[in-house]
Amino acid sequence: MIYRRLKNSDEKIAAIGLGTWAIGGREGPDTSRDGEYIDTIARAIEMGYHHIDTAEYYAGGHTEELIGEAISLFDRRELFLVSKVWPTHLRERDLHRALDGTLKRLRTDYVDMYLVHWPNPDVPLGETMKAMADEVRAGRTRFIGVSNFDTNLLKKAIAVSTEPIVNNQVLFNIEDRQAMYELLPFCQSEGITLTAYSPLKRNLVSEFTRQALERLAEKYYASPQQIMLAWLLGKEGVIVIPKAEKIDHLRSNIDSKNIVLTPEDMKILDELKGGGLV
Ligand SMILES: NC(=O)c1ccc[n+]([C@@H]2O[C@H](COP(=O)([O-])OP(=O)(O)OC[C@H]3O[C@@H](n4cnc5c(N)ncnc54)[C@H](OP(=O)(O)O)[C@@H]3O)[C@@H](O)[C@H]2O)c1
């Protein structure tokens, strides 16, 4: 596994985590496949996924419940659990309550990293970051971070936070690469890890991109999806959280750690145009 160091600490996070959006429902719970999902999460952990990304929002909390059930079979200290607080819960009291719910559903007394899922301009950032820092001091989260924050907002969050912000989770894949230009260099200079969400673009890349990926996939005896992940992992401080429920997808994604693109191939993909927001 590839690891990234977390700011101001000797702790590290696995650079390939498991995304869990749509596991156990989307906006609301769907319990019809619970057994299957619990088994999938357990198999992912056995395969080497120790970093699991989730949120109170996912399936109205049911995704966290399924993770809680699956991880009860494993040593909690071996896992790195990330959850996120929804933007309607960013007032101080609401945030503490939201984390109460997350911990209960995950059946644990701490998360490893707690993120502000989306900014909410109606709530003072200072109040939210104070509540987040209080949760670090209370031992209910080991690290804090944000998600969907642009560079300016991240700077503001850093300025008002009494605990280090160690992570920003944003949309970043071969086509949606806005984060690459200003945000990523800023995070790198600050020692903040950047988690790329939807790193596979939910399998919706353009034909042009797909062909470029296939050319490289052939060269590296890999799949196009592995090339997408290897490109992100080739960047300092970047973490990926592909979501997969098919076992062969889970295996293929974790194996992308073994693919190291040459600087020339990184450049080809860095400069790829024709389908994304380049
Ligand atoms: N912070 C935020 O606001 C935010 C927003 C969106 C997502 N996220 C997080 O990021 C995670 C990942 O993003 P995402 O779920 O949007 O999309 P994604 O990871 O880009 O794509 C997931 C899709 O790709 C398929 N897939 C996975 N591995 C594959 C492979 N090796 N070959 C072919 N297809 C493969 C999956 O199929 P199967 O499931 O059928 O295997 C699934 O349909 C989420 O699950 C969530 O944890 C965060």
> Could you report the per-residue pLDDT of 190-203, keeping only the tens digit for each?
999 999 999 999 99
Whether the pLDDT of residue 187 is over 50: the answer is yes
Residue 114 in contact with ligand 1 by CB distance below 6 A:
no
Closest residue (by CA) to atom 19 of ligand 1?
242
The angle that helices 125-137 and 92-106 make with each other, rounded to 10 degrees, is 40
Helix axes 34-47, 247-255, angle to 10 degrees: 30
Report CA(21)–ligand 1 centroid distance (Å). 7
pLDDT score of 274: 59
Residue 277: pLDDT over 80: no
Q: How far is it, in rounded angstroms, from Cα 166 to Cα 144?
A: 6
Q: Are 219 and 251 in contact (CB under 8 A)?
A: no
Q: Which atom of ligand 1 is nearest to the CA of 169?
A: 1
Establish whether residue 167 lines the binding site of ligand 1, counting it when its CB lies within 6 angstroms of any ligand atom: no
Query: Which of left, alpha, beta for 145 (phi over 0: left; psi -120 to 50: alpha)?
Result: beta
Written as six digits, the tokens of 219 are: 């060269």
Q: Would you say how long the chain is, in residues?
A: 278
The model carries a pTM of 0.97
Q: Dihedral sign, CA of 111, 3, 228, 220?
A: negative
Query: For all residues of the chain together, what is the average pLDDT?
Result: 97
- Residue 117 is assigned to a ligand binding site: yes
Average pLDDT for 138-156: 98
Pocket flag, ligand 1, residue 244 (CB < 6 Å): yes
> Which is higher by pLDDT, 276 or 187?
187
Q: How far apart are CA 271 and CA 115, in angstroms?
A: 31
Does the beta carbon of 51 sit less than 6 angstroms from any atom of ligand 1? Answer: no
Catalytic residue among 49, 57, 58, 197: 58
Residue-level pLDDT at 273: 80
Those residues with Cβ within 8 angstroms of residue 160's Cβ, 6 or more apart along the chain or in another chain: 125, 126, 129, 130
- Alpha carbon 7 to its chain centroid, in Å, reads 16
Task: Give the mean pLDDT of 23-32.
Answer: 98
The answer, yes or no, to whether residue 278 has pLDDT greater than 70, is no
198 Cβ partners below 8 Å, 6+ apart?
A: 171, 172, 173, 176
Pocket test for ligand 1, best of 175, 178, 200, 233 (most atoms within 8 A of CB): 200
Instruction: Count the alpha carbons within 13 Å of 51 in the hemisphere toward its beta carbon.
Output: 19
Distance CA 202, CA 215 (A): 20
Say if ligand 1 is within 6 A of residue 198 CB. yes
3 among known catalytic residues:
no
Q: 226 in helix, strand or coil?
A: helix
Per CATH, the number for 3-202+236-245 is 3.20.20.100
Ligand 1 centre to CA of 240 (Å) is: 10
